[in-house]
């Protein structure tokens, strides 16, 4: 799980927005070890865009909310 030089990390709020779910749901899934793969940076949880994209692609089609292009930026 390497990180490219320009790859922006998502936080749990970004993942909630991308999946159209609540932050509480993202946290619950992470605690139950059934959510998107994540990395810990100190006490922070971060998600690699490539991991989010792969995870969403692995969900059954009815569970997929939205595809995340690799170039997605969270800056709005």
What's the average pLDDT block by block, 10 residues per block, for the chain (76 residues)? Answer: 66 96 96 94 95 92 52 46
Burial code (b: 16+ CB inside 10 Å, e: under 16) for 12-27 equals bebbbbbbeeeeeebe
Per-residue pLDDT, 73: 46
Per-residue pLDDT, 64: 45
Per-residue pLDDT, 61: 75
CA-wise closest residue to 67 among 56, 55, 58: 56
Per-residue pLDDT, 59: 87
Per-residue pLDDT, 7: 65
């Amino acid at each position: 799980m390497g990180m490219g030089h320009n790859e922006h990390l998502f936080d749990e709020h970004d993942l909630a927005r991308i999946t159209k779910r609540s932050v509480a749901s993202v946290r619950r899934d992470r605690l139950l070890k059934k959510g998107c793969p994540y990395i810990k940076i100190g006490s922070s949880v971060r998600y690699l865009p490539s991991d989010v994209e792969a995870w969403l692609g692995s969900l059954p089609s009815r569970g997929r909310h939205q595809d995340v292009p690799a170039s997605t930026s969270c800056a709005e």
